[in-house]
Amino acid sequence: MDPRHRVVIITGASAGIGAATARLFAAAGAKLVLAARSREPLERLAATLPGAVAAPTDVSDPAQCRALVELARARHGRVDILINNAGVGLAGPVVELSSDDLERALAVNLFGPLWLMQAVAPLMRAQGRGQIINVSTVLAEQPLPYLGGYAAAKAALERLSETLRMELRGAGVSVTVVRPGSTRTEFRARRLGAGGEQRRLAPPAVPPETVARVILRAARREPLRAYVTVGDRMAIWLARLLPGPVEALLSRAITWEPVAGPALPRPDAPPAQGHGRDNL
C-alpha cells in the first residue's frame, strides 16, 4: 500500500525504530498518528513532522489502545496502516523468570498489539482496505538462551498475525510480520547493560533507520513476512536445517552470570520506547 495520504498509526514512536519509521513515512506523505508512553519526546518528534498527531498511549492498557484507534478515526475518518512496534525486553534464565515480569512483557509485546488489531480490523474490513504490520523478531523462530520470555511473547504474536491474516482473507486487509535482528537502540543498550548475559557471539547491529526502510518497503509490497538483513534470513534457514548443532553453538556462545538488577526496567523508570530489536 502506498503510504502517501494514508492514515498510519505507529506505536513505540518516540525513539528507536518507531521514530525512524515515523520520519520515513512522513517523508512518503503519510498522515501519522504517533503513540508512545513518553509524552515529551513523542511531542517533540511530532512537531517536526508535517501534520503528525502525538497520542501518548500505554499499549498495555486496552482502553488506551481503543482510544488511540478512535482518535485516528475521529481525526482522519479512517485507519489505513497499523504498525505495532512498541516493545519491552525481558532477559533471564527461564527457571528464574518472574511471573510479574513476564506478564508485563506480554502486556506490551503481545496483548497491546492484539487489542490494537482488534480495534482496527473492523474499521479496515468496513473500508475494504487496510494493512497491519507487526514488528516481531528473528527470536520468534530461533530463540537465544536467556531471552525465552521475550521470544515466547513474539512467537505468540506471530501466530496471532498468521491466524488473523487467514481470517481476513478476501477482506482487502493484509497482515505482515517484520523480523528484525540486532538493532542499535537505547532499548538494546539498556537491556545489555542491566542483565547478566555474557556473549561470545555478537553479530553487528544495524541502525534503526535500516529497519524502518524495511517497514516502509513492507507497507508498499505487503509481504507475509519481511527480514531486515540477508544474515537474519540465513540464520533462520540454518537453524531450520541444523537445529541440534545450532542450539549447541548458541548454548556455548551465550552464558548467564547473575548480577543485581531487574530483568525489565522498573515501573518508575523511563520506558524503553520503540522496538530496539536486540536479539542477536
pLDDT tens by residue, 81-136: 999 999 999 999 999 999 999 999 999 999 999 999 999 999 999 999 999 999 99
Residues present in the chain in total: 280
- Residues with a catalytic annotation lie at 150
Give residue 52's pLDDT: 98
Domain ranges of the chain: 7-256
Where the chain has pLDDT below 70, the residues are: 185-203, 259-280
Give residue 204's pLDDT: 77
The gap from C-alpha 146 to its chain's centroid, in whole angstroms, comes to 19
Three-state SS string over 4-41 comes to: CCCEEEECCCCCHHHHHHHHHHHHCCCEEEEEECCHHH
- Residue at grid coordinates 512537531: 47
CB neighbourhood size of 256 (10 A):
15
- 197-199 and 254-256 as β-strands: parallel, antiparallel, unpaired? antiparallel
Choosing among 3.40.50.800, 3.20.10.10, 3.40.50.720, 3.40.50.970, the CATH entry for 7-256 is 3.40.50.720
pLDDT tens by residue, 240-249: 999 999 999 9
Distance (Å, whole) CA 55 – CA 34: 6
First-to-last CA distance in the chain?
A: 31
DSSP 107: I
The pair phi, psi for residue 175, each rounded to 5°, is: -130, 120
